[in-house]
Amino acid sequence: MHATSPSPTGFRLFRYAAPAEFYRLAGRVVPLVALLAAALGVAGLYVGFFVAPTDAQQGEAYRIMFIHVPAAWMGMFIYVVMAFWAALGLVFNTRMSAIMASALAPTGALMSFLALWTGALWGRPAWGTYWDWDARMTSTLILLFLYMGFMALHSAIDDTRRADRAAGVLAIVGVVNVPIIYFSVQWWNSLHQGSSISLGKAPTIAAPMLAAMLIMALAFWAYCIAAALTRARAIVLERERSSEWVRTLFGAAS
């Protein structure tokens, strides 16, 4: 059956861990972040195409950066968040943790696919090749496989609790790949260019280029939150179908 509900005197923090509370709260948050994603997307595209100047070395092809870099960031970031929820789920056995991990995986997989795809389309004009088995590209491909492995393993096990645990372990083990991706351009001699921005150093690109990239990164961020939360709400209903709060919520409507 289901895990015990938090006691009335329990931590307030865990109040939001309750699926019923999450379902309601996320339902209010999603329209706002979706709207934010659309607004930031329009603003980022405007700055990216109409304010940012032509790149001296790469001409107009560099404009792929405004979607490539945010997608690559989200691919890595979502993986870390997914592994965090998976770890929380394994340790505390909270119902929402595993749901969050499962909800994040497809969006993270799509983001890492887009990073690879847009990277190939940028690599061809910039380096003369769509693909090279260098450290950054290979480790990003492994990231995509880790997401796919997580989803495949989860769907291969019928018992949801066991599926959560097995896929959760895979997610946690795979997290070592994320720093490898991030530092790959420093650790190995790579075809991939170094970071345009990094902590503690001045950016190496023009201000409007940087602005467009950061606005697009925020847009991607907001989009991923909206997509993952909507998927999490669906998973909550799928899993809690027979619980009292779902019956009350949907019984009142019929």
Which residue ranges make up the site for another protein (CB under 8 A)?
34, 49-54, 59-61, 63-64, 67-68, 71, 106-107, 110, 113-114, 117-118, 121-122, 124-125, 223, 226-227, 230-231, 233-235, 237-238, 241-242, 246-247, 249-251, 253-254
Report in angstroms how near the CB of residue 133 gets to another protein at its nearest. Answer: 21
| Choice between 34 and 87, CB closer to another protein | 34
Burial class (CB in 10 A: 0-12, 13-18, 19+), 37: buried
Report in angstroms how near the CB of residue 193 gets to another protein at its nearest. Answer: 16
Burial class (CB in 10 A: 0-12, 13-18, 19+), 96: buried
| CA angle (165 as vertex; 245, 159 as ends), nearest 5 | 60
| Choice between 86 and 235, CB closer to another protein | 235
CB atoms within 10 A of CB 178: 18
Report in angstroms how near the CB of residue 9 gets to another protein at its nearest. Answer: 30
Distance CA 197, CA 80 (A): 20
| Choice between 94 and 112, CB closer to another protein | 112
Report in angstroms how near the CB of residue 203 gets to another protein at its nearest. Answer: 19
